[in-house]
């Protein structure tokens, strides 16, 4: 424990700005799973969800819950010259 954690009554487990969220229903659960699966693409680690080898996405594909191509669209990169009127 450092002085800042003691001052703010923080533990060593949870990060600052952490908040708890209860899953409300199946749709909410599905949205959270999609969010987790999409994060490696969002942060630029891979261009397709299926390319992230550490994901349980592969388990869900085998179970028939997702297709292998879900989230498989390459994210386009835009050059400033591609925009205009």
pLDDT of res. 85: 40
Torsion angle of the four alpha carbons 18, 34, 31, 65, in this order, in degrees rounded to the nearest 10: -140
In the annotation, is 35 catalytic?
no
pLDDT of res. 15: 66
User: For residue range 4-34, what is the model confidence (pLDDT) as tens digits?
Assistant: 777 877 766 666 666 778 899 999 999 999 9
Query: In this structure, what token pair is assigned to residue 8?
Result: 């703010």
Share of the chain above pLDDT 90, in %: 53
pTM: 0.64
Which of 58, 38, 33, 36 has its CA nearest to residue 48?
38
Catalytic residue, candidates 35, 45, 54, 66? 54
Euclidean distance between CA atoms 31 and 5, whole angstroms: 32
pLDDT of res. 44: 92
pLDDT of res. 48: 93
Which of 34, 4, 14, 49 has its CA nearest to residue 58?
49
- The matching CATH number, chosen from 1.20.1050.10, 3.30.70.1290, 3.10.20.740, 3.30.428.10, for 3-75 is 3.30.70.1290
């Amino acid at each position: 424990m450092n002085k800042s954690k003691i001052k703010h009554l923080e533990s060593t487990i949870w990060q600052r700005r952490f908040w708890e969220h209860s899953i409300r229903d199946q749709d909410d659960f599905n949205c959270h799973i999609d969010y987790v699966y999409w994060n490696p693409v969002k942060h630029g680690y891979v261009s397709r969800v299926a390319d992230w080898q550490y994901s349980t996405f592969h388990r869900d594909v085998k179970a028939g819950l997702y297709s292998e191509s879900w989230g498989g669209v390459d994210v386009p990169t835009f050059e400033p010259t591609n925009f205009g009127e």
